[in-house]
Amino acid sequence: MDVITFQNRSGTALSSLTLHGFSSAVENEEGSLTRTIITLLSLFPAISSFRMKKCSFEIDELVRALTLVKGQPVLLPKLPYLELHCSQDMEETPPEMIPMILSR
């Protein structure tokens, strides 16, 4: 069953999503894992809590997609809670993170 069918058959909108253990080493026919996650999230605009735990992938593209830009479609428009736990060591906050936080 694909995700769109799952959402349509569900009696309620998905409001919370936790993804655990994703790795950029896993690619698919659509391309990058990050692009696939962004596409998946766009199907669930009611999500108000999104967590990624023990995930190893490039978060810059996801953070840019979550940044509100006037005149652009909004990814997860009802999102007040975001939690990202990256498996890789980060020496500093990714530069895209602060503009994303301030935009919301």
* Strand arrangement of the beta sheet that strand 16-20 belongs to: 16-20, 49-55, 81-86
- Residue 30 confidence (pLDDT): 55
- Residue 59 confidence (pLDDT): 81
Percent of the chain that is helix, strand, coil (3-state, to 5): 30, 20, 50
- Residue 7 confidence (pLDDT): 74
- Residue 6 confidence (pLDDT): 76
Give me the average pLDDT of each 10-residue run along the chain (104 residues).
Answer: 73 87 64 83 94 82 93 94 76 83 92
Residue 70, Cα to own-chain centre: how many angstroms?
Answer: 19
Please give the full DSSP string across 29-41, using - where no structure is assigned. TTB-HHHHHHHHH
**Quick one: which of 88, 28, 46, 6 has its CA closest to 37?**
28
pTM attached to this predicted model: 0.79
- Residue 58 confidence (pLDDT): 74
